[in-house]
Amino acid sequence: MVSPYALEVRGLTKRFGSFVAVNGVSFQVRPGEIVGFIGPNGAGKTTTMRMCATLEMPDEGDVLIEGRSALEDPRAARRRIGFMPDSYGVYPSTTIREYLDFFARAYGLRGETRGRTVGEVIEFTKLDGLEEKLVSVLSKGMKQRLCLAKTLLHDPSVLILDEPAAGLDPRGRVELRELVKALGQLGKAVLVSSHILTELAEMCTSVVIIERGELRATGSVDEVTRRSRKRAAVFVRFLSADAPQIERALLECPGVTSVRPERGGFLFDCSGSQEELAVILQRLVDSDLRPVEFAAREANLEELFLSLTEGKVQ
């Protein structure tokens, strides 16, 4: 039976002595899906990604690439995986073309196919015109693109990108985001980790949130938000400037547990039911505080991450 998943992680566990770096992590990535892999520093993201890329051996669990165990046949898995490590390496005394040509040969590409493929990845990563430049003189962003080009040489179906946007300037990040999006559109399964959650929010279709080696949440951003949201955040702004009175009034409303000032208004927590919101709005309108804005706020990836994790490292 053909697996619907390009990458399937099943109960991965990795211990370093008595320290459990990753504990029974499971998730799946479908073809064409871009999954953001999020977690605080030391959460086990890189270890999980390295296990997915067959660079690290799990103590328990398995990684399936297109339904086949990467542990049973790591070589076959490696042919389907494109891995871009966080500290990617380059050979400084080679040119861009030589670097890509070497890896194309290493991936078994021969003759004209090799030349054509190298040309294609150079064009895709917008490195054309720079082919004869020495790698040592490239900027961080260009090296990043070069490493991505190398990752794409053998046309992998699964891409594992560990912190690809780290250290890039805003333009570099935008370019990288566009490239990753384009890869998703080409049907590649992409697992990408980053600390820049706004970046991930713009390119990812799903997220996997991990903390202290354990899975906190997985699914599309909306799905995870729905599941994780026990309480709604509502933004409200008043014409009145009497902050203590506003806070008191809000806290007196049914279901409101906390109030904090934010961007000229106030953000308060409530259960989020329509009934409750209607009651609160009615109360505020009836008061002399004169509300001018009242909106239930959509949780963004950053808030979601903060609400699901405790910020503790192992």
Instruction: Name the segment binding other proteins (CB under 8 A); options: 23-31, 89-97, 208-216, 231-239.
Output: 89-97
Q: How many whole angstroms separate alpha carbon 4 and alpha carbon 30? A: 7
Residue 93 near other proteins by CB under 8 A: yes
Residue 119 near other proteins by CB under 8 A: no
Residue 278 near other proteins by CB under 8 A: no
Please name which of 136, 101, 107, 140 lies closest in space to residue 121, comparing C-alpha atoms: 101
Residue 78 near other proteins by CB under 8 A: yes
Q: How many whole angstroms separate alpha carbon 148 and alpha carbon 172? A: 13
Residues in region 15-44 near other proteins by CB under 8 A? 17
The single residue among 4, 11, 41, 57 that binds other proteins, judged by CB under 8 A, is 57
Q: How many whole angstroms separate alpha carbon 201 and alpha carbon 30? A: 18
37 vs 83, beta carbon nearer other proteins: 83
Q: How many whole angstroms separate alpha carbon 25 and alpha carbon 29? A: 13
Q: How many whole angstroms separate alpha carbon 96 and alpha carbon 302? A: 37
Residue 103 near other proteins by CB under 8 A: yes
Query: Contact, 148 vs 83, CB < 8 A?
Result: no
Q: And the tokens for 261?
A: 């000032």
Residues in region 189-208 near other proteins by CB under 8 A? none
Query: Contact, 118 vs 101, CB < 8 A?
Result: yes
Q: And the tokens for 47?
A: 């270890």
Residue 13 near other proteins by CB under 8 A: no
Instruction: Name the segment binding other proteins (CB under 8 A); options: 36-44, 73-81, 125-133, 269-277.
Output: 73-81
Residue 92 near other proteins by CB under 8 A: yes
- Using CB under 8 A as the criterion, which residues of the chain lie in contact with other proteins when the complex forms? 17, 53-55, 57, 69, 71-76, 78-79, 81, 83, 85, 87-94, 98, 102-103, 105-111, 113-115, 150, 154
